[in-house]
Amino acid sequence: MEQKTKTFAEIYESQGHYEQALNIYIDLLKANPLDSELIDKIKNAQNLILSEKNKKKEFAAAKINLLNNLLAKIDSYKSKTA
């Protein structure tokens, strides 16, 4: 059973499990809608999730670029040897 405490959410966050932390923060906020610390933690977790998604997109784009360059070199080599 998953614990729904601020401490447990902070542990998730420190381990890079931002979505799990966010879900706990949201559940806690439902019980305490005026808790400004929880609101800040939710905003922070959302920013961390977006940042991680952007990093993954950048990494994928870099791999695609690398592969395209490799394919271009292979094509160039093929045309020289043909």
Write the pLDDT tens digit of every residue in 42-51. Answer: 999 999 999 9
Write the pLDDT tens digit of every residue in 29-70. Answer: 999 999 999 999 999 999 999 999 999 999 999 999 999 999
**28-58 exposure pattern, b = at least 16 Cβ within 10 A, e = fewer:** bbeeeeeeeebeebbeebeebeeeeeeeeee
**What pLDDT shows up at residue 3?**
72
**What pLDDT shows up at residue 78?**
86
